[in-house]
Structure 1
Amino acid sequence: TAAELGLVQKAIDVLLAAHPDLYGAVGVGMLAEWLLQTGQFAECRVLLDRNELRLHPEILGIYNLPRRSGSKANQGVYRLPAYVWLDFCQCAAAGRYRNALPILDLIGQQLFEEEQRLMGPLTKGATSFAAGEVGLAASTHPTLARLAGIPSLLAINEFLARVMELSATRADLITLAGVLELERGNPNSARERFRTALGIYSIARSHELPRPGEPLAARYDKTLGGGP
């Protein structure tokens, strides 16, 4: 493609000249990303402010952002609402931090709501599994009974892993918001965000999830007088 050949601007020109219906939601997302990469923030703003995107941001789907921890790659991805994330990137890149921060808070709230939604089945499943374990003591075939319970245990672990992943992602976004608060000259608000993030990281740490934002949050918290 033109982008792979390094002709990003040519690809941008082609997409801008065509009607969005011709390249669909995927093309719109790619165009927004390329505009950001090439520093065309005003053009990206015009694209994101189109009525069809404002009214139906969900059409851009999910943005998979590579998650990195230090120099380690292949740490999974952040799964973020594409339109909202691109909206944040445009605001931050253009220096509109006052607009960018509420967008980060919105994403964080959506992640928190997803955590809470998953906690219901997780709690119910864990309770049922624990009750089943108690019943195994009276079973004449406890080994077979435990084998039968493996799918339930795997489902519980999957739910728990997803909840912890959402928590770690939320903490990274809060850390990013703290950095933006510093850029705005609000050290007290920044420190509050860093401390909130560190509290979430302390829970996610026990599950060995990538937490690329944790060292940054800890360093800033210490610098701002919140750590040892």
Structure 2
Amino acid sequence: MDSGSRDDLGVVTEGSFSAGLTVRLNGGSAEDLQVGSFVVLEGERDRYFSLVNDLQLRMTDPGVATDPPVESEFIRESLRGIHTFTAATVRPSLVVEGKDDVLGAGPRAVRTIPSHFARMRRARAEDFDVVFGQEGDERFSVGSPIAMDDAKVTIDLRKLIERPSGIFGQTGTGKSVLTRLILFGLIRANISSALIFDMHDEYADERRDKPGIPGLRDLFDST
């Protein structure tokens, strides 16, 4: 089995633009896909960068639920993918025109949906490059999606400094780490000055309670 077939997850069976699309997943365990996973719907002309919002267990024969084959693994496996299957609710976020164009023309807001039986696959590193852009001098990587270490989520530093920005979140969600990353990118790219009020000593030096995350003074060898 090649990597393309491993990435192939299922096909669109129904849905709507406002409520999301239902994708019948290929045979396999419902645990093979997670809510929050990034996926791509291959339309007839375009690619739809999407997010899995929900997973549902469904069956074609109500009689299976009346007398579930709890004791027989053989029967359970025989029913899986035929009479019992997993459906995913998927919401397209962005569309890239020209599904056969590897680089694509750049993402735009979704205004339509793919047709019945459009195939869904896992998002790949090249999909993130098209949507977020490849890492470069002024495009800085702030991390990778969960379980996708080869994919990079980047931000355009030049566009970031054009408008006021804020980083908000609950305690322990990584606000300080993300802020330090962005400050590092801005200083390294030398496209903006930064006046930092470090009242809690979170950015200058490596913190004892968060070892392994160097401070800005450590990175740039400055006093």
- Give TM-score scaled by structure 1 length: 0.27
Q: Point out which structure has higher relative CO (alpha carbons under 8 A, 6+ apart).
A: 2
- Give TM-score scaled by structure 2 length: 0.27
Structure (1 or 2) with the greater strand fraction: 2
Structure (1 or 2) with the greater helix fraction: 1
